[in-house]
A and B are shown apart, each in its own frame.
Chain A
């Protein structure tokens, strides 16, 4: 293997890793906030991809320009899901963990079923877009422009997320609610509002990923499940609830996937991911950055 092909593998891995990190960030944010694993996270991704496709099909608006619209819509969807479903699941008197699992799992199945009904199981793709098909030649390393765009958006999103959490009132309220949701009322914070905004933010983050991925992935009702599985591994690897753990773990997953696709075979790339996951969980059950 030449140095150049090694660099190519690492670059491709990092680009995809940043997108994985973006998908995982929303999942980790929601988990950290309220100890709920959103098993409908993959379906959120799928809806964002369909939304991007739908906007393109209806108005020919390029996915790059549709991104803010999709992200805004996903924010509203996330907040709505909390207010309409999760809030009630949290009131369970017994077995609250299972109630939450079934609530989000059921929500995922429902969304997928509705997508199959309304969008049909057909594979869709956005045929012509500004970025599709372009590659950037960086001293012999080829970077596909859509993935590069996704990676840049992912970096910007993490910077913005860091700013929101560390520098804004909402971020401080988010951190306080993570610490003790029952105590925030003592300083006048409405925990339901924080939870709803947290779900909105989590869905918006996966919405960014979805609108970029709509450029270079086939869109179908089941598209979310394989990415959701990677996202669960990423969140567990990074440490449940740690957003920046999700970033580091996303990059690691992207790299391991690219390396095992080359070293083993492309069809075996998932094996590398789960092998690393098992090793990390065996040695550090809380994940790389977990402090549960």
Chain B
């Protein structure tokens, strides 16, 4: 397994946000984590990214423990995280936001290597290079956030609600981009409210409820699961 999260418990503002949750992601997979608001989905990603400290449990990435590492070191290990509110550098240009993505690389060739792939995924970013990030539309900001994450040349890309707050047409573009990054060999861990769309592109999924993993399986199995259909797909 590329990523193995074993039984982590994370408290957030005194409340248990994750309660002995375990998930795993294999190389090359798209895995979706779903669940209602407050189920602990964001906390799960933050705990993996080093932005929250799990109280107990273990996070293994490529066979090494990464829980307890500072967040910038987790990024250096190859886990790129696009948080829910994107956290772009709003008053810096699109170009500077992208350049910051390759901060970890010293050689110019390493820095520029991902840029063409990023522009191929999100052509409109090339037209916006000199604009401040804050002037982009919600969808474009989401694209820039994913692009910046790809500039770190990650092995695992974690996305928290990439479809939130963006126009429906751009949602498709973002989902297309996720599929395209997987085709180029990247592994994706996705948190999404739009379960039906994400199960279409995912290989496997985990359902969280009040901090616990209550269901997991192949995307097709989850789609056919009566409980999932009733509670999350509204069918």
**A98-125, CB < 8 A from B:** none
Residues of A within 8 A of B53 (CB): none
**Count of interface residues, chain B, beta-carbon cutoff 8 Å:** 29
B56-77 interface code vs A (CB 8 A; 1 in, 0 out): 0000000000000011101110
- Kindly provide the distance from the CB of A99 to the nearest chain B CB, expressed in whole angstroms: 20
A180-B96 contact, Cβ under 8 Å, with A185-B71, A187-B103: no
Residues of B within 8 A of A175 (CB): 89, 92, 96
- Assess whether A186 is interfacial by the CB under 8 Å rule: yes
Report the separation of the CA atoms of residues A176 and B99 in the bound assembly, to the nearest whole angstrom. 11
Residues of B within 8 A of A173 (CB): 100, 103
Instruction: Give B102's nearest chain A residue, CB to CB.
Output: A187
Instruction: Give B99's nearest chain A residue, CB to CB.
Output: A172
Main secondary structure of the interface of A (DSSP, over half): helix
- Assess whether A179 is interfacial by the CB under 8 Å rule: yes
Report the separation of the CA atoms of residues A226 and B148 in the bound assembly, to the nearest whole angstrom. 46
**Count of interface residues, chain A, beta-carbon cutoff 8 Å:** 17
B89 close to A186 (CB less than 8 A): no
Stretch at the interface among B79-87, B112-120, B177-185, B218-226: B79-87
- Kindly provide the distance from the CB of A242 to the nearest chain B CB, expressed in whole angstroms: 12
Q: Determine which of B75, B81, B87, B99 lies in contact with A180 in the assembled complex, contact meaning CB atoms within 8 Å.
A: B87
A173-194 interface code vs B (CB 8 A; 1 in, 0 out): 1011001101111111111000
Q: Determine which of B70, B80, B81 lies in contact with A190 in the assembled complex, contact meaning CB atoms within 8 Å.
A: B70
- How many A-B pairs fall under 8 Å by CB? 66
- Assess whether A169 is interfacial by the CB under 8 Å rule: yes
Report the separation of the CA atoms of residues A188 and B149 in the bound assembly, to the nearest whole angstrom. 10
B72 close to A188 (CB less than 8 A): yes
- Assess whether B101 is interfacial by the CB under 8 Å rule: yes
Instruction: Give A182's nearest chain B residue, CB to CB.
Output: B87
Residues of B within 8 A of A172 (CB): 92, 96, 99-100, 103
B80 close to A189 (CB less than 8 A): no
Residues of B within 8 A of A186 (CB): 49, 71, 75, 80-83, 87, 148-149
Report the separation of the CA atoms of residues A176 and B92 in the bound assembly, to the nearest whole angstrom. 8
Report the separation of the CA atoms of residues A183 and B49 in the bound assembly, to the nearest whole angstrom. 12
Q: Of B71, B88, B91, B104, which is in contact with the most chain A CB atoms at under 10 Å from its CB?
A: B71
Report the separation of the CA atoms of residues A274 and B82 in the bound assembly, to the nearest whole angstrom. 47
Report the separation of the CA atoms of residues A197 and B50 in the bound assembly, to the nearest whole angstrom. 23
Instruction: Give B75's nearest chain A residue, CB to CB.
Output: A188
- Assess whether B142 is interfacial by the CB under 8 Å rule: no
A189 close to B72 (CB less than 8 A): yes
- Assess whether B165 is interfacial by the CB under 8 Å rule: no
Residues of B within 8 A of A189 (CB): 72, 100, 103
Report the separation of the CA atoms of residues A190 and B83 in the bound assembly, to the nearest whole angstrom. 18
Q: Determine which of A176, A179, A180, A185 lies in contact with B70 in the assembled complex, contact meaning CB atoms within 8 Å.
A: A185
Residues of A within 8 A of B101 (CB): 187
A185 close to B92 (CB less than 8 A): no
B126-159 interface code vs A (CB 8 A; 1 in, 0 out): 0000000000000000000000110110000000
- Assess whether B51 is interfacial by the CB under 8 Å rule: yes
Report the separation of the CA atoms of residues A173 and B104 in the bound assembly, to the nearest whole angstrom. 11
Hey, which bits of chain B sit against chain A, CB under 8 A? 49-51, 70-72, 74-76, 80-83, 87-92, 96, 99-101, 103-104, 148-149, 151-152
> Knowing that A172-B99, A176-B92 are A-B contacts, what are 7 other residue pairs whose CB atoms are under 8 Å apart, sorted by A's residue number?
A172-B92, A176-B89, A183-B89, A184-B100, A186-B149, A187-B103, A190-B70
The 10 A-B pairs with the shortest beta carbon distances in the complex, nearest first, are A185-B71, A183-B87, A185-B72, A179-B89, A188-B104, A188-B75, A190-B72, A176-B89, A187-B100, A188-B76
Hey, which bits of chain A sit against chain B, CB under 8 A? 169, 172-173, 175-176, 179-180, 182-191
- The 30 sampled A-B contact pairs (Cβ below 8 Å) are A172-B92, A172-B103, A173-B100, A173-B103, A175-B96, A176-B89, A176-B92, A176-B96, A176-B100, A179-B89, A180-B89, A180-B90, A182-B87, A183-B83, A183-B87, A185-B50, A185-B74, A186-B82, A186-B83, A186-B87, A186-B149, A187-B75, A187-B100, A187-B101, A187-B103, A187-B151, A188-B103, A188-B104, A189-B72, A190-B72
